[in-house]
């Protein structure tokens, strides 16, 4: 079995109506109430808000663009299979994601042996 090549450094998107997924350099799942807006800050300086909108789609708004060249891919309003915008930090930049903060909680990747904080 071949491993799928990662096409991005970080991806953030909504899943179902109460989960926010983080994939890439950091993997995590944030349980979130669909009636509230979640604010996320990434170590490259990117700040976004994400919320489950009335039309049943997770919507992401860029509040501050960081140095990792973030991009939002918008979900169309009438596609039942694509119900979330996605924030992508592409590969190929010299900005590594060291942490993410959401609602005061810090998410860090697992440390490797010998790594200092």
- Concatenate the DSSP letters of all residues of 89-110 into one string: EESS-S-----EEETTEEE-PP
Within-domain flag for 94: yes
b/e per residue, 25-62, with b = 16+ CB within 10 A? bbeeebebeeeeebebbbbbebbbebbbeeeebbbbee
Within-domain flag for 53: yes
Instruction: State how far the Cα of 106 lies from the Cα of 28, in Å rounded to an integer.
Output: 11
Within-domain flag for 33: yes
Based on the structure, what is the number of domains in the chain?
1
13 against 9, higher pLDDT:
13
Within-domain flag for 113: no
Within-domain flag for 111: no
Per-residue tokens: 8: 């991005």
Within-domain flag for 81: yes
114 against 101, higher pLDDT:
101
Q: Which domain holds residue 93?
A: 8-105
Within-domain flag for 21: yes
Average pLDDT, the chain: 83
Mean pLDDT across the stretch 53-59? 88
Mean pLDDT across the stretch 45-70? 91
Within-domain flag for 117: no
2 pLDDT tier (thresholds 50, 70, 90): very low
């Amino acid at each position: 079995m071949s491993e799928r090549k990662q096409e991005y450094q970080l991806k953030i998107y909504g899943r179902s109506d109460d989960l926010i997924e983080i994939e890439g350099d950091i993997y995590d799942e944030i349980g979130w109430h669909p009636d509230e807006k979640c604010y996320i800050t990434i170590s490259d300086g990117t700040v976004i808000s994400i919320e489950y909108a009335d039309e049943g789609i997770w919507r992401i708004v860029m509040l501050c663009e960081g140095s990792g060249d973030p991009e939002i891919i918008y979900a169309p309003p009438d596609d039942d299979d694509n119900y979330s915008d996605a924030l992508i930090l592409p590969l190929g930049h010299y900005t590594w994601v060291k942490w993410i903060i959401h609602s005061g909680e810090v998410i860090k990747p697992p440390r490797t042996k010998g790594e200092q904080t």
